[in-house]
A and B are shown apart, each in its own frame.
Chain A
Amino acid sequence: MSNILRTVDLSKRYRGADAVDGLSLDVPEGSVYALVGPNGAGKTTTIKMLMNIIEPSSGSATVLGTSSLKLGPAEFQQIGYVSENQKQPDWMTVRYFLDYLKPFYPTWDDARLAALLRQFDLPLERKLKHLSRGMLMKAALASSLAYHPKLIVLDEPFTGLDALVRDEFIEGLIESAEESTIFISSHDLAEIESFATHIGYVDNGRLQFSEEMQTLSARFREVEVTLDATPALPQPWPAAWLRPESSAAVVRFVETHFDQQRTEAEIRRLFGSVRRIEVRPMPLREIFVVLARSSRKAA
């Protein structure tokens, strides 16, 4: 699988502060890549650099095989971009907005648009400025999916949307996922988890990890160890075990490189006599919280 999007040491500095610092990632063709991270982590800045909206301070990015600095009409005909921050031409009605965009895209598909309009239930004669936030995002998404883009870039698309609109939005995306690569930044980890294939975690402008969703889910486990006596946490504590807690004869921690045999062997080596080891898979949201807290603590 080739990479549809790649960054190498991508950095952006604002008045001496690093918004993005040496970010290197690959997004394989056909994947749904979620860039997650806390507020101010550098997700939006990264996307703006990828879309040639702002120039990087150093490093490079390639989008659809073209340097991000050289993205032009030919590339944007294959990219669908939706951002919570984007200003739409709000004087236009939904119908005029779509009619206006159509001639810019040789691959514009009226049948696809009609299906999206039915699915999103958009009021065609209403001006964009009179749409609710959810409707506006759906209009932006419809206008970005109607031409079968190769790459769909979404910057925090779920912010402020109610559950119903989110579902509709995600359904529209999932249908396009078969023919497109999706790059999405979001805080909404529960939604991301349902359809992302790859995930990148960025914090303080640095990419902490980038991997397949399956691998990530497989390597994070919440571990509860029941001992015979009240434990003293062994020193040095393994770096891969985060958020250690102990109460009575129980120790809990999050294993970030879980492997059934190796983890159990390590527990027995450190704690000696162990009565019970319980291992629980973690949803993405919990993984994210653990990582964010650990990173804040380290900072």
Chain B
Amino acid sequence: MREVLHIFRKDVREHIYEIGLLLVLTAVWVGVGPSNLGRATSVDIREFFAWLVWLMVIAWWVLIARLIQGEPLTDDRAFWLTRPYGRWRLFAAKALSVVAFVNLPLLIAQTVFIAGAGFSPGRYIAGLAWEQVLITAFLVLPAVALATLTSTAAQFLLGALSVPRCC
């Protein structure tokens, strides 16, 4: 566990700007929020909210790509290959980063939305958890898979743009 946290701390330091951007986007998303949206009369705010969602998804993907490509599996020149890294511990450290900076902020944001709408979040735990599963399955894991197969941001972007065409 110590090694996992050590790699995690290194990743936070390395990707502090991406993480910061993601947290700011999430905070703005919460600030605009569905409850405020309901009261909003301007179409611009609704559009801004929709754009925010897209920006957050892009920020997730960028962060995931950067995290995984920091210690790429596909590059035989990567420094970590000849260092005493346990592969599972490396995987656990990356998973911890994704949970901490993608899943957890989203979960908190949704909890705030529910509470802001006057409901008790405790009653919706199953729904919130299910949504996390769906987000992980359809947004996080494809990004992880793509980042694992590529070793540069350009390759990742190319792959990400090719996915919709293939489908």
Contact = CB atoms under 8 A, between A and B. Distances in A.
Chain A complexes with chain B: yes
Interface of A: 48, 51-54, 72-74, 76-77, 79, 81, 83, 85-89, 91, 96, 100-101, 103-105, 153
Contacts of B76: 48, 53-54
A85 B86 contact: no
Contacts of B75: 87
13 contacts: A51-B82, A53-B76, A72-B84, A76-B84, A83-B77, A85-B77, A86-B77, A86-B79, A87-B77, A89-B79, A100-B6, A101-B83, A103-B2
A153 B83 CA distance: 12
B152 to A, nearest CB: 11
Contact of A87 (B6, B78, B83, B86): B78
Interface in B1-53: 2-3, 6, 10, 13-14
A192 to B, nearest CB: 22
Nearest to A88: B79
A100 B11 CA distance: 11
Taking residues whose C-beta sits less than 8 angstroms from the other chain, chain B's interface range is: 10 to 19
Given A89-B70, A104-B3, A51 B81 contact: yes
Contacts of A91: 14
A81 B83 CA distance: 8
B85 interface: yes
A73 B86 contact: yes
A153 B75 CA distance: 19
B71 to A, nearest CB: 9
Contacts of A53: 76, 81-82
Nearest to B72: A87
A48 to B, nearest CB: 6
Interface string B61-91: 0000000001000011111011111100000
Contact of B83 (A48, A74, A76, A96): A76
Given A86-B77, A89-B14, A100-B10, 16 more contacts: A51-B81, A52-B81, A53-B76, A54-B76, A72-B84, A73-B85, A76-B85, A81-B82, A86-B78, A86-B79, A87-B78, A87-B79, A89-B79, A101-B83, A104-B3, A104-B83
B77 A74 contact: no
Contacts of B70: 89
